[in-house]
Amino acid sequence: MRRWRESLLAVAMIGLGLGILVGLAAATWLGAAGSVVSTIALWAGMAVPVVLALSRSRPMGLLRFRAIDLLWGVGLGLMLRLVQGWIEGADRLPAIATLDGRLPDGWWWSELIAPVVIAPLTEEFFFHGVVLVTVYSMFRRSVGRLTAGGAAIVGSAALFVLAHSIVGTLAPGEVVALALVGLVGGLLVMLTGRIWPAVLLHVVYNAVGVMLLIAGTILA
């Protein structure tokens, strides 16, 4: 089995870059449909390196699931959402923009399925699977496990925030919250050796955000 090394990291960066460029072009030129195409392009840019990586080899234990992963994911996901609310200091619930009292067409995709199901899986396997594991593998022997692990966590989290900031405008509080999600997710993968705690954390974090959004829309 081939190790995840420099060539895979290069493919991952190219895939992410192409996904962002195609997504930005779609958002500019396709009007209302551009946001959907943009999101799909970004996911495809991340999914291709993930599939390539897993077809080459599978790091020992990375895909293993244990019951405690559910506890880590739910607990830390809820905690980070509370921290995000405190950082942003919101005085009211967010809400989905409605038209004549009706939710926009496709809201279930953009506000529910995409952020709760597809985004956590794609992003966690890319940033905290491929990128984090590859960076750690590249530097582990030269600088030691602790330093390599720290660099992998910080590097993957920085790339996670950068990708989100490029495809959408983020307030300072959102940047800090995303950085925390990236850092805690990366730390979970490094400490457990498994990807699922980070995936579940991301799912719970986004799902709580969606529930607050729906509650705010109903109560508005």
DSSP annotation of 115 reads: I
3-state DSSP call for residue 60?
coil
Query: How far is Cα 195 from Cα 180, in angstroms, rounded to an integer?
Result: 17
Q: Determine the pLDDT at residue 135.
A: 96
**Quick one: tokens of 147?**
């330093």
- Looking at residue 137, its pLDDT comes to 93
pLDDT of residue 32: 64
- The pLDDT value recorded for residue 1 is 44
- The distance from CA 176 to its chain's CA centroid, rounded to whole angstroms, is 14
pLDDT on residue 99:
62
Per-residue pLDDT 10s for the chain (220 aa) are: 467 889 999 999 999 999 999 988 887 887 766 777 888 899 999 999 999 999 988 898 999 999 999 999 999 999 999 999 888 876 677 777 666 667 666 777 777 888 999 999 999 999 999 999 999 999 999 999 999 999 999 999 999 999 999 877 788 889 999 999 999 999 999 999 999 999 999 999 999 999 988 888 777 6
Sequence-ordered alpha helix ranges (H) in the chain? 6-29, 34-56, 67-88, 107-108, 119-123, 132-143, 145-167, 172-192, 196-219
